[in-house]
Amino acid sequence: MSNNLDIASIRNDFPILNEIVNGKQLVYFDNAATTQKPRLVLDALSGYYEHYNANIHRGIHHLAEKATSAFELSRRRLQTFLNAPLSEEIIFTYGTTDGINLVASSYGRTFLKAGDEVIISTMEHHSNIVPWQMLCEEKGCILKVIPINDEGELLMDEYEKLLTERTKFVSVVHVSNSLGTINPVKQIIAKAHAVGAKVLLDGAQASSHLHLDVQDLDCDFYSLSLHKIYGPTGMGILYGKKELLDAMPPYRGGGEMIKEVTFEKTTYNELPYKFEAGTPNIADVVAAKYALDYVDTLGKPKIAAHEHKLLEYATEAVKDIHGLRIIGQAKEKVSVLSFVIDGIHHQDMGVLLDQQGIAVRTGHHCTQPLMRRFNITGTTRASFAVYNTIEEIDLLIQGLHKVKRMLG
């Protein structure tokens, strides 16, 4: 078996890559925001609606049983994807943000009290800052922030100094969406556990690039979104250790999450349904399995190797662009290239690259405190996925030269 992926054939799996944007063949480099979906996933979505759309868990007719089986098959598929010990430890959510809110709200409000400390990091996405700020405000807890160095790496000795017996929760990003930094999460978790704190990992960016094993990491919670792993939008999962999830009260009330309802008292359903009130996003959950199958068929190590090759090529190529500075030069990085160019506003960059059919992300990437740390208002971010090519990076470089010429 070859060690290299056949990228031309992979590109054929993604119909959207044939789109023409502003008269040019689309170059899609906004994969850290969301990845495109292979035909397999699109077919699974339409196949669900065409052949077995039904509400799950309650119905006893054929379609309901088929939909329920497919839904629960996806749960087990995600269990193996994360190597979680039990399938009921996989809670379906709307996405990473939803999972973090679930933990901050349910675990945080139940087990944290005034004076307790929560640790996050400078490179968090707003969705791993705001829920903890809301919790701290409500409960009188204190939010502490791990600083970073100029390369965009966490200062681990500073982290250790923040850890005390008052630390009750640590919530950090596995891989930074703005910088691409892969954080030493195993170490972070072990040190937090040593003081008795629980740990949540924001896995939004990590999940499509890195091999995930929640048992090996020993994290207490892991939240991710499927749309960043070639799967559908609007769904994600929260992994949580069973003993913690069991001890947590429900987050939302409604159907599915109950055992018995009377006007006097309601008893709650068991895991995972306790946290899945209302009709879930069945079609997208069902299709998610096919996205993971796709990723595993290609093989995550091969995907990572290809993406790494693209990142190295791009990192080298942009060195020729005068005044360009890469933001995020960690030793351990995924395929995210964030940069600023002297005298060029990132929005102008985004508009002029778009005119050339090149989709990048510009702005603060929902990490305003991180941008402040680097004393910038935003960056241009090109992020690469398995279907991207060296030729596309050459187009980006040409595009950057053109933008510089136009704005110069």
* Smaller CB separation from another protein, 247 or 406: 406
Contact between 299 and 372 (Cβ < 8 Å): no
Q: In the beta sheet, which residues pair with residue 93?
A: 236
* Smaller CB separation from another protein, 190 or 406: 406
Number of residues that bind another protein (CB under 8 A): 17
- Smallest gap from Cβ 12 to another protein, in A, equals 29
Could you say which DSSP state residue 113 is in?
-
Phi, psi values for residue 361, rounded to 5°: -105, 135
- Smallest gap from Cβ 203 to another protein, in A, equals 24
- Smallest gap from Cβ 22 to another protein, in A, equals 7
* Smaller CB separation from another protein, 309 or 402: 402
Phi, psi values for residue 277, rounded to 5°: -70, 140
Q: Which of 326, 350, 360, 385 touches another protein by CB under 8 A?
A: 350
Q: Which of 76, 351, 390, 401 touches another protein by CB under 8 A?
A: 351
Beta strands in 136-253 (DSSP E): 142-146, 167-173, 198-202, 221-225, 236-240
| Residue 407 binding another protein, by CB under 8 A | yes
Nearest to 81 by CA among 233, 292, 385: 292
| Residue 404 binding another protein, by CB under 8 A | no
| Residue 247 binding another protein, by CB under 8 A | no
Q: Distances from the Cα of 92 to the Cαs of 74, 185, 326, in angstroms?
A: 10, 23, 36
- Smallest gap from Cβ 148 to another protein, in A, equals 23
| Residue 25 binding another protein, by CB under 8 A | no
- Smallest gap from Cβ 347 to another protein, in A, equals 4
For the record, the structure tokens of 103 come out as 């933990």
Residues that are catalytic: 366
| Residue 406 binding another protein, by CB under 8 A | yes
Q: Is 375 left (phi over 0), alpha (psi -120 to 50) or beta?
A: left
Binding string to another protein for residues 47 to 66, with x set by CB under 8 A, is what?
--------------------
- The alpha carbon dihedral of 61, 64, 68, 70 has a sign of positive
| Residue 130 binding another protein, by CB under 8 A | no
Q: What is the largest CA-CA distance in the chain?
A: 71
For the record, the structure tokens of 371 come out as 């941008």
Q: In the beta sheet, which residues pair with residue 181?
A: 333
- Smallest gap from Cβ 174 to another protein, in A, equals 25
Alpha helix segments (H runs only) across 265-299? 282-298
Nearest to 148 by CA among 389, 372, 385: 372
| Residue 46 binding another protein, by CB under 8 A | no
Stretch that binds another protein, among 136-144, 219-227, 325-333, 357-365 (CB under 8 A): 357-365
* Smaller CB separation from another protein, 151 or 348: 348
- Smallest gap from Cβ 236 to another protein, in A, equals 22
- Smallest gap from Cβ 355 to another protein, in A, equals 5
| Residue 19 binding another protein, by CB under 8 A | no
* Smaller CB separation from another protein, 87 or 355: 355
> How far is Cα 408 from Cα 403, in angstroms, rounded to an integer?
8
> How far is Cα 329 from Cα 327, in angstroms, rounded to an integer?
6
Binding to another protein (CB under 8 A): which residues in 360-389?
362-364, 377-378
* Smaller CB separation from another protein, 277 or 344: 344
Stretch that binds another protein, among 260-268, 296-304, 355-363, 389-397 (CB under 8 A): 355-363
Buried/exposed code over 231-243 (b: 16+ C-beta within 10 A; e: otherwise): bbeebbbbbbbee
Binding to another protein (CB under 8 A): which residues in 290-349?
345-348
* Smaller CB separation from another protein, 232 or 399: 399
Phi, psi values for residue 24, rounded to 5°: -120, 155
Binding string to another protein for residues 182 to 221, with x set by CB under 8 A, is what?
----------------------------------------
> How far is Cα 131 from Cα 105, in angstroms, rounded to an integer?
8
Phi, psi values for residue 152, rounded to 5°: 95, 35
Question: Which parts of this chain interact with another protein (CB under 8 A)?
Answer: 22, 345-348, 350-352, 355, 362-364, 377-378, 402, 406-407
